[in-house]
Amino acid sequence: MLISVAVPVPTLDLLTYRVPPDVARPLVGARVVVPLGSRVVTGIVVDLDVSSAGMDESEIKPIRRLLDSDGFVPPEVVGLARWTAEYYAAGAGATITAVLPPKARGARASGHKTMRVAAITAAGLEALGAEASRLTSRQLIALELLAGSPHGIPTPQLAAKGSTSDTVARLAARGLISLRHDRIDRDPFNAASFEAPPMDPDRRLTMEQAAALERLGHLAGERTFRVALLHGVTGSGKTELYIRLSTAVRDAGRQVLMLVPEIALTPVTASLFRQAFGAHVAILHSGLSDGERHDEWQRIRRGEITVVVGTRSAVFAPLAHVGLIVVDEEHDGSYKQEESPRYHGRDVAIVRGQREQALVVLASATPSMESYHNAMTGRYERVVLERRVRDRRLPAVTVVDMREEYAAAGPDVVLSRALADAIGTRLEREEQALVLLNRRGFATAVFCRQCAGTLDCPNCSVSLVVHGEGPARRARCHYCNYSVRVPNTCPLCAGPYLEQTGFGTERVEAEIGRAWPTARVARLDRDSVRRKGALASLLQRFRNGEIDVLVGTQMIAKGHDFPRVTLVGVVSADVGLGMADFRASERTFQLLTQVAGRAGRGEQPGEAIIQTLYPDHYSIQLACKQDYVAFYERELAFRRAMRYPPLVAIINTIVRARTFAGAMDDAADIVQRLRDDAEPDGLRVLGPAPAPLGKLRGEYRAQLLVKGSNRKRMRERLLAAIATRPDVQRRVVVDVDPQSVL
């Protein structure tokens, strides 16, 4: 019998192996230990009874061992992984890595944590009476402790009470106690320090909420595949609908998959679901330890879980009876994975819903152009929440033209007069403020006034970003993580005239701290929450009122509900508008609308102050008005004129090489092979051209774009053209439905 196996090696597709006659017939999804070159790895069975046509059967190797009598990975998840590999032009090996829990990928593939437990035996109970005089004092104490605990006591607890490992070993040797190893599930909720305020399950919904819940509940009750776009303004109570809808789905005997775009949103979401459904909730995301992820995955697989909360990889959670999938903040670019397999969590969630006849709810105050277009053309149901809970007003928005600020106070202004005054007012009132700058670090570049040179990354075509102040400050590349201490003289001309330009969240935090020395200021970005538990702890401190001003990147812009926040300030609102990416305006509109919506969610009205050099840009103007429909229509006209999604599909292809000329030549060869007969299929090929990020991690990059309406045909044609150049294949990145073309 021949089987197809996916092994966790990114560049490999399905491999064929033989099942020896003395090994039981495996099931799809079972783990098998197989030889791979000089190594032995654990793979997943994907296909049974594979044909040997075109293969030399003498070269087909047998599997070494079958690890599971059943499907370790549910067949439905295996099928979803296969679809993902095909659609996103990735190897099966890359996709299977996303499906398996960390400790199930090696050849040994165990991962269970156990604890040794001692329990008294019948002989031990007898010894307490008849043979007590023959026991040492420590043995007697140990047996008395165990006699009072019929289910046993972990040996570390016995040791803490004076029963050493030697005492335990001697009692076990005499048969007076038994020793066993109990499995321990590592619970990530125990380590979390964030607890959201409880929701009132008896609270009356608004009329809009009630109508939305009734409509979504009806769709879920049909037990057929449907997609609904829940378009609700910030603060309209979408999360409460998720929980009430989940209750109905669970009561009907089905399971819920709740996806959030970033780890920053998992503490509050998981806390709310845990309050509602107790221990039947699991969380899955990369911020957990390998052990925690393994144990959560196993709890889900064993059927102990009815709700999974997680980031994009949780879309492959081994749930057996999915009835509802919610994709919160569905517009967010974090759902797109930037390494192989380059899948989009939202789109894979829709395919999973289709395969499991489940309702998929895509929710956002600022839907993606693709999702809103699908709703407008009738592919998705559209459910709208136009008002905030308790009819709270949306924040008043002020736009500050930073050109006027620079003219008045010089080019180094970080906080405008309006924003500084507003922060001071909030501190006096003992209210809270959020300040957003979607850029990390203290300064964005170092340049020399003598020769105009800059401090650049030697591996990537970007300037190094300065982190920290004082003599210990370092300049770091945010792409390859190269770092160097900031020099005192220019490395190009040895001139002593180095200056810093631009600024990031560290500089904003420092400016606020200097302006208001008694204010409690904190920063939330990827640099500040690297330590495990730091994110949940920081959010909890802010919620508890222990922080007055929280400065952060887009991590603070979405999903959070802080009732004491009455001010949101946006520094450099246009930071993304200058990027060479067709989604730049969309992302700017979404970010500004989302972060402004963090203000005024409590009893006090909110205010947002947006600093920009382009106050008249339509994405900024319409974000201030919270007018999504007008933005969609304006942006759609641009996309139609330029033939961009959602009106056409795009595949972005990057060719890497050790030299710029080599990258361009290889890309040009692929383009020519595509253009030879592309017109009959309606394909348009753009390029080759230098990629906007021309050098990355020591390799030069050339770019080509394929546009069309038939993704399957586009993908097949592109892969066929690349396959004619085996020497180039490993240096080509194919990104289907890219979220960025940088």
List the one residue out of 264, 187, 309 whose CA is nearest residue 534.
Answer: 264
Burial class (CB in 10 A: 0-12, 13-18, 19+), 95: buried
CA-CA distance, 403 to 326, in Å (whole number)?
43
Task: Please give the pLDDT value at position 677.
Answer: 61
Task: Please give the pLDDT value at position 107.
Answer: 47
DSSP 269-281: HHHHHHHHHGGGE
Task: Please give the pLDDT value at position 190.
Answer: 64
Mean pLDDT of 622-629: 92
Mean pLDDT of 720-742: 92
Cβ(333)–Cβ(739) below 8 Å: yes
Query: 698 versus 183: which is more confidently predicted?
Result: 698
Other Cβ atoms closer than 10 A to 460: 21
The answer on pLDDT for 178 being more than 90 is yes
The answer on pLDDT for 188 being more than 80 is no
pLDDT band per the 50, 70, 90 thresholds, residue 562: confident
Task: Please give the pLDDT value at position 244.
Answer: 95
The answer on pLDDT for 383 being more than 60 is yes
Cβ(215)–Cβ(366) below 8 Å: no
Please give the C-alpha separations between residue 125 and each of 11, 153, 473, 703, in angstroms, as whole numbers: 61, 15, 67, 77
pLDDT band per the 50, 70, 90 thresholds, residue 480: very high
Lowest-confidence segment of 74-88, 103-117, 408-422, 485-499 by average pLDDT: 103-117
CA-CA distance, 512 to 517, in Å (whole number)?
8
pLDDT band per the 50, 70, 90 thresholds, residue 211: very high
pTM, rounded to two decimals: 0.88
Task: Please give the pLDDT value at position 35.
Answer: 95
Collapsed DSSP state (helix, strand, coil) of residue 85: helix
Collapsed DSSP state (helix, strand, coil) of residue 479: coil
Phi, psi for 689 (deg, rounded to 5): -150, 160
CA-CA distance, 515 to 193, in Å (whole number)?
31
Query: What residue ranges define each of the domains in the chain, with the CATH number in brackets?
Result: 2-104 (3.40.1440.60), 113-184 (no CATH), 196-391 (3.40.50.300), 396-441+504-637 (3.40.50.300), 442-502 (no CATH), 649-736 (3.30.70.600)
pLDDT in tens, 48-61: 999 888 888 888 99
Cβ(611)–Cβ(573) below 8 Å: yes
Lowest-confidence segment of 103-107, 218-222, 565-569 by average pLDDT: 103-107
Using only C-alpha atoms, what is the Rg of the chain? 29
The answer on pLDDT for 521 being more than 70 is yes
- Which residue is listed with tokens 């979607």? 438
pLDDT band per the 50, 70, 90 thresholds, residue 303: very high
CA-CA distance, 186 to 296, in Å (whole number)?
8
CA-CA distance, 651 to 586, in Å (whole number)?
19
pLDDT in tens, 709-719: 999 999 999 99
CA-CA distance, 650 to 706, in Å (whole number)?
6
pLDDT in tens, 631-655: 999 999 999 999 999 999 999 999 9
pLDDT in tens, 665-684: 999 999 999 987 655 567 89
Mean pLDDT of 448-463: 92
For the chain, first and last CA: distance in Å? 47
CA-CA distance, 325 to 362, in Å (whole number)?
8
Buried b or exposed e, range 604-627, using 16+ CB within 10 angstroms: bebbbbbbbbbbebbbbbbbbebe
pLDDT in tens, 104-119: 655 455 557 778 999 9
Residue count of the chain: 742
Burial class (CB in 10 A: 0-12, 13-18, 19+), 494: exposed
pLDDT in tens, 403-452: 999 999 988 899 999 999 999 999 999 999 999 998 999 999 999 999 98
Burial class (CB in 10 A: 0-12, 13-18, 19+), 482: middle
The answer on pLDDT for 556 being more than 90 is no
The answer on pLDDT for 470 being more than 90 is no
Task: Please give the pLDDT value at position 99.
Answer: 86
Cβ(216)–Cβ(380) below 8 Å: no
Mean pLDDT of 357-381: 97
The answer on pLDDT for 584 being more than 70 is yes
